[in-house]
């Protein structure tokens, strides 16, 4: 049957409609795809903007993580003095890599004015503790363990966030000094402004804060300098609450030495060679007895905090007057690297004071006498003590310009102990340097 002319027109019209419909369909698809792409871009921009906003807010409010909780205040801890750590109790790796960075030099510490106490009360480098154990001379309401660090000498104690740590330090006297080394691992530009270590002096050995307490917090935040906060309670009344401007971001990326001196009401704190805190009436005199540490805000498993070489000593007074009046001082505050005569630069405060006496008393001549503990052979210890005494002489000459002909030196090895060489504390007391007027 022949197709009529009208039928052909109808068919052509239908095909045109079909093509137009397809064109409209694909046009709609293209529009939808374009809108979807726009929404994707918008979401990406929103996400990036939110990320930047979170980072900015973190400097004030914290890291914004889902695990964040409001910081505990000293008043909160008085009402609820105990806390339970939510950290994993399983043992972590016991060997890590430390942060990179070269050691500080003696020249850098040449103006360091910290002088450690001369009567040691407590020392712990965890030498007698087993790797993976909680240290025997500490207490906590959380967890922690002794570890080895591949690039550092000795043993270190890893402290976990949101826990209190109390070393078995005897009751603190009126005048004393505290020193320790810190090492943090895993810090980066995302490390929260809440990542801090509270250094606490308190009236009791309970977990928390008492009516008489002080703290300074040491910040580990990397993207903004948040300063060092200092706070106190005297008979339940807060009299000091301030944040001191301090940028220690580079310091805490490697091993950092903290020094604290308390003389009556006065409190001073140094980070490496720099003194950041010097408050004349911070301490509740005669009521502070206990040292505590409390890390906060570290991301468990990523950011790790370690402490070692904790030393507490009575004294810390001006050695210059004693050397002039008595003609002799003995100190175990001049520290050396293990088994060597390399002076640890944070020991320069004492050597600086000795140099000041020699500069004032131009006719004075001194003998420098080195002593060791009993580890090793008698012969090696005698040689080591002599080399250490000579190293102190060389520092006085090269750093402070004292004439070498005014300085004698001698080593006595382990022959004149003042402490028990069977204990860590006793050994630390025996490793000492004497300055004797001639």
pLDDT of residue 42: 44
Q: Does domain 74-314 have CATH number 2.60.120.560?
A: yes
For the stretch 292-340, pLDDT in tens is 999 999 997 899 999 999 999 998 777 888 899 999 999 988 989 888 9
Please report which confidence band the pLDDT of residue 89 belongs to, taking 50, 70 and 90 as the band edges.
Answer: very low
Please report which confidence band the pLDDT of residue 81 belongs to, taking 50, 70 and 90 as the band edges.
Answer: very low
In percent, how much of the chain has pLDDT > 70? 76
Q: Are strands 366-370 and 407-411 parallel, antiparallel or unpaired?
A: parallel
pLDDT of residue 332: 87
Are 266 and 285 in contact, with CB atoms under 8 Å apart?
no
pLDDT exceeds 60 at position 278 = yes
pLDDT exceeds 80 at position 55 = no
pLDDT, mean of residues 416-432: 91
3-state SS string for 241-305: EEEECCCCCCHHHCCEEEEEEEECCEEEEEECCEEEEEECCCCCCCCCCEEEEEEECCCCCCCEE
d(CA 395, CA 10): 109
Least confident of 23-27, 42-46, 228-232, 376-380: 42-46
Least confident of 195-204, 329-338, 382-391: 329-338
pLDDT, mean of residues 19-34: 53
Please report which confidence band the pLDDT of residue 31 belongs to, taking 50, 70 and 90 as the band edges.
Answer: low
pLDDT exceeds 70 at position 37 = no
Are 279 and 262 in contact, with CB atoms under 8 Å apart?
no
Query: pLDDT averaged over the chain?
Result: 82
Least confident of 43-57, 72-86, 222-236, 243-257: 72-86
d(CA 94, CA 175): 37
d(CA 287, CA 305): 30
pLDDT of residue 2: 47
State the DSSP H helix or E strand holding residue 398, giving kind and residue range, or none if neither.
helix 378-398
pLDDT, mean of residues 10-39: 53
Question: Dihedral sign, CA of 74, 77, 79, 81?
Answer: negative
Please report which confidence band the pLDDT of residue 196 belongs to, taking 50, 70 and 90 as the band edges.
Answer: very high
pLDDT of residue 204: 92
pLDDT, mean of residues 208-231: 94
The CATH number of 319-437 is 3.30.1330.60
Provide the residue count of the chain.
Answer: 438
pLDDT of residue 418: 93
Please report which confidence band the pLDDT of residue 96 belongs to, taking 50, 70 and 90 as the band edges.
Answer: low
- How many helices (H) and strands (E) in the chain? 6, 20
pLDDT exceeds 60 at position 90 = no
Contacts of 151 (CB under 8 A, 6+ apart): 97, 98
In percent, how much of the chain has pLDDT > 90? 64
Are 352 and 395 in contact, with CB atoms under 8 Å apart?
no
Opening angle at CA 274, ends 113 and 187, nearest 5 = 145
Q: What is the CA radius of gyration of the chain?
A: 32
The pTM of the whole model exceeds 0.85: no
CA dihedral in degrees (116, 118, 124, 128; nearest 10)? 150
pLDDT, mean of residues 339-352: 91
d(CA 258, CA 184): 13
Extents of the domains making up the chain: 74-314, 319-437
pLDDT, mean of residues 254-267: 95
């Amino acid at each position: 049957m022949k197709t009529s002319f009208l039928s052909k027109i109808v068919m052509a019209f239908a095909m045109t409609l079909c093509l137009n419909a397809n064109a409209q369909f694909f046009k709609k698809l293209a529009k939808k795809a374009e809108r979807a792409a726009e929404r994707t871009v918008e979401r990406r921009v929103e996400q990036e903007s939110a990320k930047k906003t979170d980072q900015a807010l973190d400097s004030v409010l914290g890291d914004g993580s889902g695990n964040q909780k409001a910081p505990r205040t000293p008043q909160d801890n008085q009402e609820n003095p105990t806390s339970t750590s939510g950290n994993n109790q399983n043992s972590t790796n016991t060997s890590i890599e430390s942060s990179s960075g070269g050691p500080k030099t003696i020249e850098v510490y040449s103006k360091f004015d910290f002088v450690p106490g001369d009567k040691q009360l407590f020392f712990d480098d965890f030498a007698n503790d087993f790797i993976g154990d909680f240290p025997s001379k500490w207490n906590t309401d959380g967890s922690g363990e002794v570890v080895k660090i591949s690039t550092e000498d000795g043993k270190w104690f890893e402290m976990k966030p949101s826990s209190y740590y109390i070393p078995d330090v005897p009751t603190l006297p009126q005048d004393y000094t505290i020193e320790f080394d810190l090492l943090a691992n895993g810090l980066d530009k995302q490390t929260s402004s809440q990542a801090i270590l509270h250094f606490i002096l308190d009236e009791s050995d309970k977990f928390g804060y008492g009516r008489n307490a002080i703290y300074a917090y040491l910040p580990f935040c990397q993207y903004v300098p948040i300063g060092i906060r200092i706070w106190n309670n005297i008979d339940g009344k807060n009299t000091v609450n301030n944040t001191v401007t301090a940028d220690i971001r580079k310091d805490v990326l490697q091993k950092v030495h903290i020094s604290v001196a308390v003389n009556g009401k006065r409190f001073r704190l140094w980070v490496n060679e720099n003194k950041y805190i010097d408050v004349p009436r911070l301490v509740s005199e005669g009521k502070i007895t206990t040292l505590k540490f409390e890390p906060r805000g570290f991301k468990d498993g990523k950011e790790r905090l370690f402490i070692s070489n904790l030393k507490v000593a009575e004294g810390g007074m001006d050695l210059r007057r004693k050397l002039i009046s008595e003609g002799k001082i003995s100190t175990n505050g001049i520290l050396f690297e293990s088994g060597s005569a390399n002076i640890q630069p944070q020991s320069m405060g004492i050597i600086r004071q000795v140099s000041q006496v020699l500069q004032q008393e131009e006719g004075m001549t001194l003998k420098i006498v080195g002593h060791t503990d009993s580890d090793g052979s008698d012969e090696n210890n005698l040689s080591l003590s002599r080399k250490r005494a000579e190293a102190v002489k060389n520092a006085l000459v090269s750093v402070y310009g004292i004439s070498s002909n005014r300085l004698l030196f001698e080593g006595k090895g382990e022959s004149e102990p003042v402490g028990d060489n069977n204990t860590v504390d006793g050994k630390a007391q025996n490793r000492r340097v004497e300055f004797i007027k001639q």
